Structure 1
């Protein structure tokens, strides 16, 4: 039994638009399924739990974007129920990182044919994430994007990834870098004039930005990108390099790896995970190896 969770607002309604086509394919293939539609923020988490306990589903399929997946994962942790994804959001970075097709028919075919694989999951304090947690500039950009009008407009024309770039430009002119202390696997690092810290399980965020090019979903390690010591002008010049992941050659960017870290800052910094707000520093981030089954 496949349990589908369709986010009504993902991709400015794209998930809802493609659902009839998905349902037709399921009926043609005589696949047993049930479906639930999200009605509010964080609804997908409780829907996952409901489908598992009441409908006895053996697979959960999220039809939506990274926010939908984030909520579904938080409902699946601790179970052996695999997650399938049909991308229908603005960024789709989780799907991009795992090579899941963006076309709904191809994504569904893979869900019905492939076997589950197991991947790592990260935690910001007690809340899980499965792509990237961002601190500082990243956090403010994610918050700005989530409340923007242009995100909805760009989602409508399937150009939602551009909303991150617009927000980054807006935040750029007001953001003030901070001094940071990191404790990574019990080793202390101090950095001054830090723009952002990205803690990654998968390489992508912000709709395809390759923030940690070598991040792997099953190596039991977090990839940690620290951008520090840059002038405002150098930061602006370096930012476009993130589209191809070539920014890591800059001497002002450090890539570290670890299993857990604590982050302390001279001023409170906004933290996001999978684009969802998760509070402010100080925080603790850790990895839980082999914690989630994905088709």
Structure 2
């Protein structure tokens, strides 16, 4: 029996529309299932615990990266795998796993039950699937989530534009800071830092390839530090990041790898994880090898 966790509100209602199609497919196939609907932040993780007591063999998340993050946090180190049917605005985790964006193809993949182990990024009390962004990045995530235009863009299938508009809005007033990063015990100092991205997969923000070499199963964290540039240089750099071409600017973009990362700043800056603002710096991040099973 499958357990489904559906966020009807994800993607400005895309979750609801996708669920109705999935429901029809399950019914015509006579596939046994239990379904639960989220009602707010953190609820999906609670639902996971309930479904695990029902003996489900797979838990399927229907929603965006935020919903998938919450379900994954409930499944860490469990034998029950995670199935994903993308229904958000960014769908970055599904993208990096090559999960089809079409609900029927995604469902077929789940039925094939070919499990793979996926690393997770650990932040003390929670896990991250894709990228944790510190600084400019964290402020953008907060602005995106509060923006009225996010729903408008999601409605017409242009969720990535919400990130672009929010970036421009934050850029007007944001000031870079000095940051100390400790990677596997080695201390590094950077001045004029715009953002630090710690990645378990290449993409975030609806397709930005911030750490092109990141892989969800290599047991490593990839780190991108953007520093020492003006806001106009940053603005010119931004489009290149969609193809991962920003990394050639070695004077202003520093790439690192490690398994244990500690980031502290002169003044506290916002931290986002899988697109959700969660805390302020300082923050410690560790890789957890093969902590999640995905079908």
- Same fold, TM-score > 0.5, yes or no: yes
Shift of 1:58: 1.0
CA distance in structure 2 between the partners assigned to 1:18 and 1:66 by the alignment? 15
**Residue 173, structure 1, aligned to residue 154, structure 2:** no
Question: Which residue in 2 is equivalent to 1:7?
Answer: 7
- The yes-or-no answer on 1:244 pairing with 2:243 is yes
- 1:142-221 correspondence runs (5 A): 142-221=141-220
Pick which of 187-196 and 155-164 moved more. 155-164
For residues 18 and 194 of structure 2, the distance between their equivalents in structure 1, rounded to whole angstroms, comes to 39
Q: Which secondary structure does the structure 1 equivalent of 2:46 belong to?
A: helix
TM-score by length of 2: 0.98
Deviation at 1:123, TM superposition (A): 1.3
Alignment of 1:2-81 (within 5 A): 2-53=2-53, 55-81=54-80
Q: Secondary structure at the match of 1:192?
A: strand
| Equivalence map 1:101-140=2 (5 Å) | 101-140=100-139
Residue 47 of structure 1: CA displacement? 0.6
Name 2:293's counterpart in structure 1. 293
Q: CA deviation at 1:273?
A: 0.6
> Contact conserved, 1:124 with 1:273, CA < 8 A, in 2?
no
Match of 1:283 in 2: 283
Distance between the aligned counterparts of 2:138 and 2:194, measured in 1?
A: 11
What is the rounded CA distance, in whole Å, between the counterparts of 1:57 and 1:174 in structure 2? 49
CA distance, structure 1, for counterparts of residue 263 and residue 85 of structure 2: 34
Q: Distance in 2 between matches of 1:11 and 1:239?
A: 24
CA drift of 1:30 comes to: 2.1
Alignment of 1:266-281 (within 5 A): 266-281=266-281
Secondary structure in structure 1 of the residue aligned to 2:181: strand
Deviation >3 Å, runs of 4+: none
In structure 1, the gaps of 5 or more residues are none
| 2:73 pairs with 1:97 | no
1:90 counterpart SS class: coil
Q: Per-residue CA shift, 1:4-41, capped at 9, x if unaligned?
A: 11101101111111212111111222211110011111
Aligned residues: 294
Secondary structure in structure 2 of the residue aligned to 1:31: coil
User: How far apart are the structure 2 equivalents of 1:161 and 1:80?
Assistant: 34
Moved more, 15-24 or 3-12: 15-24
* Cα distance between partner residues in 1 of 2:28 and 2:235: 51
SS at match of 1:105: helix
SS at match of 1:13: helix
